Chain A
Amino acid sequence: MHAVDGVSLTVGRGETLGLVGESGCGKTTVGRCILRLYQPTEGRVIFDGEDLLKADSKTLRAARRQLQMVFQDPFESLNSRHTVGDIIAEPFIIHRIGSPAERARSVAALLKRVGLAADAAIRFPHEFSGGQRQRIGIARAIALNPKLVVCDEPVSALDVSIQSQILNLLLELQKDLGLSYLFIAHDLAVVKHVSDNIAVMYLGRIVEYAAAGVFYEKPLHPYTQALIAAIPDPDPEKKKASQPMLSGRNAGAGAISDIRSRPFRCLPLRRSAWWGRRRCARKRPPLRWVYLSEWCKPPADGPLQHCCCKKPDLKCAFQGL
């Protein structure tokens, strides 16, 4: 089973790439492959000119100083038997940096940086709320001055009012420390808010890849369109018209819940009647540059967008051919 199949993406220096998709689409797997927490079967992960998948353990160890991760669940990703000070000092110990006194100073500075009181260092994770725990996780991630932080659903376990605090903190840290983020989430509004570019994943593949601004104005792929249409608008005066592909009673028939049931060559074939059951492009549609105003032109100046459709409108490869 290919949980992630032929995914290519680029995170620029100091930029945020949002990776968005529904549960089971493989977005977390992509994040973990980048850190080589999973060993991908094929492909390359180039970080600062070095292929991490081919790197020996020494090079990998050095690279991992630059690559950090913030996890979804601030309850499970912190060791409940360690004090917060120990947790944040752990990266220094692993990479043998500084004396104990220097580490303590760094921990204090980091706590301050993420908006926690200095006495937090001697307390335990359970004494903190979810939002504060996520701050601890972030402090640990930025301890070694990484270049890239993979944020895997960093705010989805948090309450609405805490979410915005954490998002602000992440944005602020990016500005101050020049961090790059791979921001993995299922909430499009959140992803849109923090990202420069956005990649949409569906069943293990990237179906659309675009600049954040362009993305919402003109989604090209039918799946992206459906995803955006499905977001409940927090404006009662803009009640959504019923979505053909999302319509209540009938939609269940076409839902794909399992990556194994992905049609062999064509991606969203079975999603719903709306996308048609007809044969899709015989070959896997390649990701190609699409010029926004005129389809299928080679990149020129102007907003660019990737889409895996050949002609990414409703009459695209998914319905015709």
Chain B
Amino acid sequence: MTDGYPILAVNHLVAAFDTEAGRVRAVNDVSFSLEAGTILGLVGESGCGKSVTALSIMRLLPRPTGIIESGSIRLNDTDLVKLAPDQMQRIRGRRIGMIFQEPMTALNPVHRIGRQLVEVFALHRPDVDAGQRVQEAVALLSHVGIPEARARMDEYPHQISGGMRQRVMIAMALAGKPDVLIADEPTTALDVTIQAQILELILDLQKETGMAVLFITHALGVIAQICQDVAVMYAGQIVESAPVTALFKDPRHPYTQGLLTSMPRLSSENKSTLPIIQGTVPSLSQLPPGCLGPLFFTGTLGVPIGDGSEKRKAASCGKPKDGFSHPRRCAAKKGGAGACGGRCFANCGTR
């Protein structure tokens, strides 16, 4: 597999939920592409739609409330949105693997680890015959760094630690040898030292198999350490995307800038006042159509950046200025890399 080939392309994806308050678009016109052999980070706060994006790709939105309204999700040349459920079943696990935030809830507590792993082989690896499945499963467990793998096969999920459970999850996701791995907050529930181990494992395996990884997280530090590209999601849309060094060095969207400056760092001065992003995340059901930029900063248009002395105005919709990149705008203008300063990973196509 060669690097740089877009293996998964999400285009103008709209995923919505029918609620009592009417239809809410949790993912609103999201586009990005994932290249083979790379890791794309999808970063955002809770409720921004990053997990719904992942579930849409897997076609696992809760039914009947969750629906993909429009858009396409192309895996190589197949549009996943149009697939019948049984066809999709063959994609899941074999072509796209997924790991979840909480390995304890993702694993079945009443079955032994071995049985759950062997089941994956039975479902997704027809090339492995029944007699070999156990050996394959043991080999896979030791491959993801689980000591005494054979003994672990007979244990239940509650008998092993959180980090070990996440390794089991990774083993299960990799059993079908997928081309794409979706990792939805895989380290959020883990301690920092265990997180470091799991991140390194994912990096190792990614290099080894050449798979593409969509890494979903809210932790910018994790993004900086493992991703090549990063997309920042906010209120159901990608507000900024860029190669990781560019994004951290020169964030353009006021939201991204706010995220980066507001986090306490080891190097930050003790007990100093942190620059903050004013307001809170708007409710998706109350989102006016169109632009997110000014909307984010509820109550005030001026966003204090840096020490707060420098006030920058968030650009209003359709008027990108002051380094404000806007994928929606960009999407409207086909191939308009200029409009977003080459930062738009999503729709410009000419990055």
Report A135 CB to chain B, min CB distance, Å: 11
Q: How far is the CA of A292 from the CA of B161 in the complex (A)?
A: 36
Q: Which residues of A contact B265 (CB under 8 A)?
A: 189, 193, 234
CB distance A227 to B222 under 8 Å?
A: no
Does B273 sit within 8 A of A, measured CB to CB? yes
Q: State which of B164, B204, B276 has its C-beta within 8 Å of the C-beta of A165.
A: B276
CB distance A232 to B259 under 8 Å?
A: no
CB distance A236 to B193 under 8 Å?
A: no
CB distance A188 to B163 under 8 Å?
A: no
Q: State which of A164, A228, A246 has its C-beta within 8 Å of the C-beta of B197.
A: A246
CB distance A231 to B266 under 8 Å?
A: yes
A160-198 at interface with B (beta carbon < 8 Å): 160-165, 167-168, 171-172, 186-190, 192-196
CB distance A247 to B266 under 8 Å?
A: no
Q: How far is the CA of A3 from the CA of B265 in the complex (A)?
A: 30
A181-217 at interface with B (beta carbon < 8 Å): 186-190, 192-196, 212-213, 216
Q: State which of B145, B161, B273 has its C-beta within 8 Å of the C-beta of A168.
A: B273
Q: How far is the CA of A164 from the CA of B163 in the complex (A)?
A: 28
CB distance B225 to A240 under 8 Å?
A: yes
Q: Which residues of A contact B258 (CB under 8 A)?
A: 161
Q: A23-B191, A193-B264, A242-B200 are in contact. Are A213 and B224 (CB under 8 A)?
A: no
The size class of the interface chain B forms with chain A is 35 or more
Q: State which of A162, A186, A193, A229 has its C-beta within 8 Å of the C-beta of B268.
A: A193
A271, closest chain B residue (CB): B193
CB distance B145 to A232 under 8 Å?
A: no
Report A32 CB to chain B, min CB distance, Å: 20
Q: State which of A164, A227, A257 has its C-beta within 8 Å of the C-beta of B263.
A: A164
Q: How far is the CA of A22 from the CA of B191 in the complex (A)?
A: 6
Q: Which residues of A contact B274 (CB under 8 A)?
A: 164, 167-168, 193
Q: A232-B199, A252-B163, A255-B194 are in contact. Are A160 and B204 (CB under 8 A)?
A: no
Q: A161-B259, A231-B266, A253-B147 are in contact. Are A186 and B191 (CB under 8 A)?
A: yes
CB distance A232 to B221 under 8 Å?
A: yes
CB distance A188 to B192 under 8 Å?
A: yes
CB distance A232 to B219 under 8 Å?
A: yes
CB distance A160 to B201 under 8 Å?
A: no
A217, closest chain B residue (CB): B266
B274, closest chain A residue (CB): A164
Does B196 sit within 8 A of A, measured CB to CB? yes
CB distance A248 to B225 under 8 Å?
A: no
Does A282 sit within 8 A of B, measured CB to CB? no
Q: How far is the CA of A207 from the CA of B162 in the complex (A)?
A: 23
Q: How far is the CA of A174 from the CA of B161 in the complex (A)?
A: 38
Chain B residues at the A interface, C-beta cutoff of 8 Å: 45-46, 144-147, 161-164, 167, 191-201, 203-204, 218-225, 227, 244-245, 248, 258-260, 262-266, 268, 270-277, 280-281
Closest 7 CB pairs of A and B: A232-B221, A248-B200, A257-B161, A193-B264, A22-B191, A164-B262, A249-B145
A-B contact pairs, 8 of them (CB 8 A): A22-B191, A168-B274, A168-B276, A171-B271, A171-B273, A186-B191, A236-B224, A249-B201
Chain A residues at the B interface, C-beta cutoff of 8 Å: 16, 22-23, 129, 131-132, 159-165, 167-168, 171-172, 186-190, 192-196, 212-213, 216, 226-237, 239-240, 242-243, 246-253, 255, 257-258
A sample of 11 more A-B contacts (CB under 8 A), given A161-B281, A168-B273, A186-B192, is A160-B262, A161-B276, A172-B273, A186-B191, A189-B265, A231-B192, A231-B221, A232-B224, A233-B224, A234-B263, A247-B197
